[in-house]
Structure 1
Amino acid sequence: MQIEEMLTKLYGPMLTVAQLAKVLDRSTKGLTISLLRADSDWARAINAAKLKIGRRVYFRTPDIARFLSGE
């Protein structure tokens, strides 16, 4: 999986909100608002990859790569 390898090499096994926003070419604040509303298919798919550790929010890189590749 080429996308997953590239994202893992750049960001590691987890993406922060800022890193995910950069990958999706969106502002951090705009991405956060879009994900909170979660009334679209893409927001549900990305929220499924979300992992909260304490107050921090991370996204699993393999799940984001699958979303980006259309799987």
Structure 2
Amino acid sequence: MTSEQYLLDRFGPLMSMAQVANLLDRSADGFRVAMYSDSELSRKLKPAVVRVGRRVYFRTLQVNQALSLDTPALQA
């Protein structure tokens, strides 16, 4: 099972801010602050943002690509 399929099975097509924070092992408030600052993480994840009313969601497939979860680790 690929990480893409795992994330889709676990979260569906959209992930809430709390779910992404949990995936990154961060607090929801800390992740929210990191997303509103200019950081490497926010630059990678901002294209995945979808707003539904006042709620913020992230496209699961784009989160997978932004975090490069399917890329094999470099071997030394």
Question: Is the shorter-chain TM-score for this pair beyond 0.5, marking a shared fold?
Answer: yes
Who is 2:74 aligned against? none
Identity over aligned pairs, percent: 39
Who is 1:55 aligned against? 54
Structure 2's unaligned 5+ residue stretches are 72-76
SS in 2 for 1:69: coil
Who is 1:43 aligned against? 42
SS in 1 for 2:26: coil
Structure 1's unaligned 5+ residue stretches are none
Structure 1 runs of 4+ aligned residues shifted over 6 Å read none
Partners of 2:66 and 2:55 lie apart in 1 by 22
Name which one, 1 or 2, has greater alpha-carbon Rg. Answer: 2
The total of aligned residue pairs comes to: 70
Q: Give the alignment's Cα RMSD to 1 decimal.
A: 1.6
Relative to the length of structure 2, the TM-score reads: 0.84
Residues 16-27 of structure 1 aligned to structure 2 (within 5 Å): 16-27=16-27
Relative to the length of structure 1, the TM-score reads: 0.89
